Amino acid sequence: MKPNYVLFGPIRPLLSLAAALFLCSHGPAQGSPDAGAPAKKVVEKADDLPRHTYPVAKAPSLIVTDPDAFGALAAALGKDIRADLSAYDIKDRTTLQGFKSTMLSLALLDGDYAQAGKLVEELRALEEKPSKRATTAFVTAAWIRARLDGGAGPDFGARFQAEVERSVKLLDWDLVQNEIKSAKAGYEIRSQTLLVGTLQKEVDPAALKTGAVSADVARTIVAIRNQLVNFLPYKAQVVAALEGYVSAHSVVKPDRWTPRLVELDPADHATPVVVGIWDSGVDITIFNDRLATDPEGLHGHAFDLHSNPVPELIFPIAKFVQNVPELTGRLKGFIDLQASVDSPEASAVKKYMGELKPDQVSPTLEGLNIMADWAHGSHVSGIALAGNPFARLLVGRITFDYRLVPETPTVEQATKDAAAYLSMVGYFKQNNVRVVNMSWGGSLKDVETALEQNGAGGTAEERKALARKIFDIGRDGLLAALKTAPNILFVVAAGNSDNNVKFDEVIPSSFQLPNMITVGAVDQAGEETSFSSFGPMVNVHANGYEVESYIPGGQRLKLSGTSMASPQVTNLAAKLFALDAALTPEQARQLILDGCEKSGRVNLVSPKGSVALLRQKLAQGSK
């Protein structure tokens, strides 16, 4: 099982249906207990939840705009929701939030505004991140108030905009600015063409092949119809209201991160340290004076999508696209939109997305995925090496599927992937790598979804079993490979799905090893980002919001994600190893933990603090 490339921050979440529509669940929510009902079955992990499927006689992209076909699907989905509510006690708040979001969409489509208002409050109560709690469903709440106050008359758009404006003015800008900017960007690029076009590519082929859709797809259809019917007609009003709020506030969050950083001086008494970047590949020409070299005279080890060894240490983008400069500009445009930066690239992206034709949806999204594969490893490397003249880069390239519908997962490919993991870790060991950055991951759900997207795996239960078999091969292979290298510290990105990595069985971030540390993302103020995954396996947090680094060719861009937070910790670990070559991975890990500042569930890394602890230890040892 090859983990999906899910950790790239600014673009994929912005464009994905799940993130854009706040549909993040694959399980039922809790209902009010019934004193006469049997005890509910406690659900401790996502795989324990039941699978439901629904017959479809036409393409989901048509169902979403057909009131009759949609009504039948929604009724069946609602029936299963009620049955599951009475049977299951789910302990995962992200799953509960996602399912309640589906219930909220159904209530809005049914015109049940009292129930919708109740669900908004339930969603907010489930949110643990302060900035997200303040902004959860705030546009929906404004929509409900506008409907209750004056119905759906011709002045509804103006009343809705006024409610949104009133709502955002009550928010604390210092707390919510990142979420408001992201929400604004999401509305600016969202369109019926984009939403329906993505359904056509990702969902229609398999649904027409099998004549059925899973509950996950059914919930996506519900969310999209809610957008098409209730919100997209008033897109301009929402954007205007949010733009007014953003424009009225020029103050950015205080920077608590940069003062925590530390640079090593070339004159320091330190030892060169080899840093492995296990990622999508690196443009090594950017780091010509910082490269490690293996006995063959090479600077890394690479595998293609099918885990075959290849010579290229960077994703061969020229084989897939010819318009790299144009796509680079588009990438920057999306990043600027996310940050509410009024740039020519941002204006061009808004214009391009506004004029998007149905047949352009798939190549547009896949082109951006290719850019992510191409740019990601170089960006991560720049963060990991910054401020450390003793760091030496060794590349480990893993390749990810950029297509909206990935290849069908198989046992055979999972077995090859597991062998490639062992080969890569062996390569790092043979070349004396001290710390490896792993800004990638995947989950059991990713495998099951890929099987469904390809119409493979049989019935829902058969697909579940096959997904488990494939996933376990990859998970066990990766874990076994990491265990063979106790002298390497592996630094892992938590993920960008705002989920519990333990509940959803995300690998590698759900692993627990003495020579591993998992990193969540905060912004420059040290506050947990809305996208950062969490859970008991997430050990520390580092800046992963709008971090500037290189992309291939040497251009610098600001990207966001736990992918950018993890190499901040890799950077620190490499400095610790440089200053004390005798450190074990466990000792370096402890120095990182001891230097952290705890605030709630955020355990904020302090490079300056950890280096000071090491220098103090070294000074005491020399006496």
> Which residues are CB-neighbours of 226 under 8 A, at least 6 positions away?
21, 105, 108, 109
Amino acid at residue number 476: D
Q: Do residues 272 and 157 both lie within one domain? A: no
pLDDT at position 27, please? 38
pLDDT at position 84, please? 83
Please tell me the total number of residues recorded for the chain in this structure: 623
pLDDT at position 32, please? 36
- Which residues of 82-164 form beta strands (DSSP E)? 88-90
What CATH number has the domain bearing residue 394?
3.40.50.200
- Domain, as residue range, for 83: 58-247
Q: Do residues 278 and 197 both lie within one domain? A: no
Is pLDDT larger for residue 457 or for residue 621? 457
Q: Do residues 130 and 265 both lie within one domain? A: no
DSSP SS3 for 45: coil
In whole angstroms, what is the distance from residue 115 CA to residue 374 CA?
46
Q: Which of 247, 270, 296 is the last residue of a domain?
A: 247
Tokens of 474: 């990859």
User: Across residues 258-285, what is the average pLDDT?
Assistant: 96
* CB-based contact 382:550 (threshold 8 Å): yes
In whole angstroms, what is the distance from residue 535 CA to residue 601 CA?
9
β-strands 391-397, 273-279 pairing:
parallel
Give residue-wise pLDDT tens across range 3-34. Answer: 554 444 444 444 444 334 433 333 333 333 34
pLDDT at position 460, please? 93
Of 188-197, 262-271, 330-339, the one with minimum mean pLDDT is 330-339
Residue 366 lies in a domain: no
Q: Do residues 168 and 296 both lie within one domain? A: no
Q: Report the number of distinct structural domains present in the chain.
A: 2
Give residue-wise pLDDT tens across range 488-523. Answer: 999 999 999 999 999 999 999 999 999 999 999 999
DSSP-assigned letters across all residues of 540-595: EEEE-SSEEEE-TTS-EEEE-SHHHHHHHHHHHHHHHHHH-TT--HHHHHHHHHHT
Burial classification of residue 262, based on how many CB atoms lie within 10 Å of its CB (0-12 exposed, 13-18 middle, 19 or more buried): middle
Q: Do residues 480 and 613 both lie within one domain? A: yes
User: Across residues 573-599, what is the average pLDDT?
Assistant: 97
DSSP SS3 for 273: strand
Give residue-wise pLDDT tens across range 25-59. Answer: 333 333 333 445 578 899 889 999 899 999 999 99
Q: Do residues 229 and 269 both lie within one domain? A: no
Give me the percent of the chain exceeding a pLDDT of 70: 94
Q: Do residues 526 and 613 both lie within one domain? A: yes
Q: pLDDT-based confidence at 335, cuts 50/70/90?
A: confident
Residue in 599, 549, 594 with CA at minimum distance from that of residue 571: 549
Residue 531 lies in a domain: yes
Q: pLDDT-based confidence at 295, cuts 50/70/90?
A: very high
Q: Do residues 242 and 266 both lie within one domain? A: no
Residue 609 lies in a domain: yes
User: Across residues 53-76, what is the average pLDDT?
Assistant: 96
Q: Which of 247, 266, 291 is the last residue of a domain?
A: 247
Give me the chain's average pLDDT, please. 91
Residue 264 lies in a domain: yes
Q: Do residues 134 and 280 both lie within one domain? A: no
Q: Do residues 302 and 168 both lie within one domain? A: no
pLDDT at position 36, please? 53
In whole angstroms, what is the distance from residue 216 CA to residue 219 CA?
5
In whole angstroms, what is the distance from residue 581 CA to residue 579 CA?
6
pLDDT at position 556, please? 94
Residue 362 lies in a domain: no
pLDDT at position 343, please? 86
Residue 355 lies in a domain: no
Q: pLDDT-based confidence at 2, cuts 50/70/90?
A: low
pLDDT at position 3, please? 54
pLDDT at position 623, please? 57
Residue 322 lies in a domain: no
Beta-bridge mates of residue 43: 90
- Give me the phi and psi of 461, to 5 degrees please: -70, -40
pLDDT at position 33, please? 37
Question: Does position 164 have pLDDT exceeding 90, yes or no?
Answer: yes
Of 255-264, 364-373, 545-554, the one with minimum mean pLDDT is 364-373
User: Across residues 436-458, what is the average pLDDT?
Assistant: 96
User: Across residues 232-255, what is the average pLDDT?
Assistant: 93
Give residue-wise pLDDT tens across range 561-577. Answer: 999 999 999 999 999 99
Residue 39 lies in a domain: no
Q: Which of 212, 247, 282 is the last residue of a domain?
A: 247
Q: Do residues 273 and 242 both lie within one domain? A: no
Name the strand (E) or helix (H) holding 548.
strand 547-550
pLDDT at position 472, please? 97
Residue in 575, 557, 559, 540 with CA at minimum distance from that of residue 13: 559
Question: Does position 486 have pLDDT exceeding 60, yes or no?
Answer: yes
Angle at 557 (CA atoms; ends 252, 189), nearest 5 degrees: 75
* N-to-C CA span, the chain: 52
DSSP-assigned letters across all residues of 442-510: EEHHHHHHHHHHTT-SSSHHHHHHHHHHHHHHHHHHHHHHHHT-TTSEEEEE--SSSSBTTTTTEETTT
Tokens of 308: 């075959």
Q: Do residues 471 and 437 both lie within one domain? A: yes
Residue in 518, 303, 310, 510 with CA at minimum distance from that of residue 422: 303
> Which residues are CB-neighbours of 76 under 8 A, at least 6 positions away?
54, 218
